[in-house]
Amino acid sequence: MPIDATKPYDPNNVFARILRGEMPFSKVYEDEHALAFHDVNPQAPVHILVIPKGAYVSWDDFSARASVEELAGFVRAVGHVSRDMGLVPRGYRVLANIGRLAGQEVGHLHVHIFGGEPLGPMLARQ
């Protein structure tokens, strides 16, 4: 069930629990500002999620409230993970869903990194 991105942050969301060490996850990268791990239900050969360590519901919330250090640290982490996974030469996709129309399921900002095969059209239309 997609979340309403205008609602307050729910500290019991699954990625908050991962950050608190309450849930298992497959770590790819961690630094002061961000944590990256494999998506539990991968949609491509490479499907990594990168999340900020701060409590932000979505890209909208993060871009409005995060400090310059948090913003820079998160963007750098997404780039670092993509390079470290060897995705740059063949190309890859970065995606963030925000709220209901985009189908955001988890109310803690996450960026998807997809790669490893041709990724098809940007949007799937029925």
Listed in sequence order, the DSSP H helices in 12-55 are: 14-19
Nearer to ligand 5GP, 6 or 67 (CB): 6
Coil vs helix vs strand at 77: helix
Residue 110 bears catalytic tag: yes
Strand partners, 46: 115
114 binds ligand 5GP (CB under 6 A): no
- The 14-53 site mask, x for binding ligand 5GP (CB under 6 A), equals x--------x-x-----------x-xxx-------x----
* Sequence letter at residue 63: S
12 binds ligand 5GP (CB under 6 A): no
Q: How far apart are the first and last CA of the chain?
A: 20
104 binds ligand 5GP (CB under 6 A): yes
| Host H or E run for residue 29 | strand 27-30
Which residues are marked as active site?
110
Binding site for ligand 5GP (CB under 6 A): 14, 23, 25, 37, 39-41, 49, 97, 103-106
